[in-house]
Amino acid sequence: MASARDRGILSVHELLEPPVNQLEEAIRRLPVGVEFLVVVTWAFGLPIFASIMSLGSPNSTAPVFTNAELLATIIFEVIQLGFLGWFLRIRGWTLEKFGLSFSWRGTLVGVVLLAITFALVVGAQHLAMFIFDFDLKAAAERAPKVDPNLSMQLVFLVSVVNGIFEELFVAGYIITSLTARRGMWMAINVSVVVRLLYHLYQGPIGVMAIVPMGLLYGYFYSRTRQLWPLIVAHVLVDLVGLTFHT
C-alpha cells in the first residue's frame, strides 16, 4: 500500500503530466499544412519580414556584418533550432528523415558543390552583365559589407550554425515535406522562393547568387536525399564570404 508521502508525489505527477501530454498530443494531431506553416513561419518569418522591409529604403547604405550582428544571428538561430527540433521530434521527424548523416564522402561532395556554386554565380553575373547590360558595379555597392574587425571565432561559429539551420529547414524540411504532396519541382521552387525572400536585403547581387544556389542545392537534395553535403557547402560559402568579402 502506498504511503501518504507516495500518494502526495503521485498526485503531483498527475497534476503535472497531463498538460504536457495533452500539448504533445495536440501537436501530433496538427494537420500537415499547419505543421508546414509553423516551421516555415518560425524559422524564416522574421528574417523574411526584415528582408522585405529593407527594400523600402533603396537609397540607404548597404548593410554591414558586424560582430554584434553575427552574435545576434547565432543566438536567434540556436533558439529557433531548439524550438523547432522539439516541435518536429514530437511530429515524428528524425535526422534520418531529413537525410542528415556525417560522411567523409559527403564532405568531399560538399566541397564540389561549393565550386559549382561559385561557377554558377559567376555565370549568372556575366549573363546579367553582357546580355542584359546589367550594372554589376552599381549592384555591388548595394550588397552587404563586412566589418574588417570581425572576430574569426564568431565568423566560424556563425557559418556553422547558419549553414546547419538554413539547409535543415529551407532544403531538408521544405523539400521533404512538399515532395510527396506537390512533386519534386514544386518543392524545389518553394524552397528557392523562401531562400530568396530572406536574402532580399542583399540586393541584385544576392538574387544572382541565391537563385542558382537554391536550384542547385534543391535539385541535388531531391535526387540524393543527402543533407550533409549541402551543409558543408553552405558553411564554406559563408566562411569565404565573411572572410574575403570586401
pLDDT tens for 48-83 read 999 998 887 655 567 889 999 999 999 999 999 999
pLDDT tens for 181-192 read 999 999 999 999
What pLDDT does 34 receive? 97
pLDDT tens for 124-167 read 888 888 877 777 777 777 778 899 999 999 999 999 999 999 99
**Does residue 120 register a pLDDT over 60?**
yes
The amino acid present at 103, given as its one-letter code, is: S
Q: Round the average pLDDT of the chain to a whole number and report it.
A: 89
Listing DSSP states for the chain in one string gives ---HHHHHHHHHHHHHHHHHHHHHHHHHTS-HHHHHHHHHHHHHHHHHHHHHHHTT-TTSPPPEE-HHHHHHHHHHHHHHHHHHHHHHHHTT--HHHHT----HHHHHHHHHHHHHHHHHHHHHHHHHHHTS---HHHHHHHS-EE-TT--HHHHHHHHHHHHHHHIIIIIIIHHHHHHHHH-HHHHHHHHHHHHHHTTGGGHHHHHHHHHHHHHHHHHHHHHH---HHHHHHHHHHHHHHHHH--
| Whole-prediction pTM | 0.88
Over residues 92-105, mean pLDDT: 96
Per the model's pLDDT, the better-predicted residue between 222 and 145 turns out to be 222
State the pLDDT confidence band at 233, using cuts at 50, 70 and 90: very high
State the pLDDT confidence band at 210, using cuts at 50, 70 and 90: very high
Expressed in angstroms, the distance from the first to the final Cα of the chain is: 75
